[in-house]
């Protein structure tokens, strides 16, 4: 299920429908992030959810399947990157 990293809001701008702002996750996790504060905190930490002021192309995300951090672009690529300073050890 696609998850917007920066929320579009109800009927919000489609400019946020770009590859760097969308990740795919299971529907259970998608719903959990939206309704549970602890899950939302983890989603922010891992770059799955971003604040309105953040730019998706400049924010890393953690891929649980590869256990690596990536920086997405808008050409449907993701570049491996070092963990951000916020990363837990």
Compute the average pLDDT of residues 40-67. 94
Q: 57 pLDDT band (50/70/90 cuts)?
A: very high
Q: Above pLDDT 70, what percent of the chain? A: 90
Q: Decide if 86 is inside a domain.
A: no
pTM, to two decimals: 0.85
Kindly state the tokens that stand for 84: 């951000």
Q: Decide if 48 is inside a domain.
A: yes
Residue numbers of the domain that contains 61: 2-81
Mean pLDDT of the chain: 89
Overall number of domains in the chain: 1
More confident residue, 1 or 60: 60
Q: How far apart are CA 74 and CA 32, in angstroms?
A: 26
Q: Decide if 87 is inside a domain.
A: no
């Amino acid at each position: 299920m696609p998850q917007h990293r920066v929320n579009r809001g109800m009927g919000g701008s489609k400019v946020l429908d770009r590859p760097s702002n969308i990740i795919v996750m299971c529907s259970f996790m998608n719903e959990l992030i939206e309704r549970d504060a602890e899950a939302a905190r983890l989603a922010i930490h891992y770059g799955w959810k971003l604040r309105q002021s953040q730019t998706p192309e400049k924010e890393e995300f953690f891929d649980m399947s590869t256990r690596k951090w990536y920086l997405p672009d808008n050409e449907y690529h993701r570049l491996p990157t070092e963990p951000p300073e916020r990363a837990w050890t």
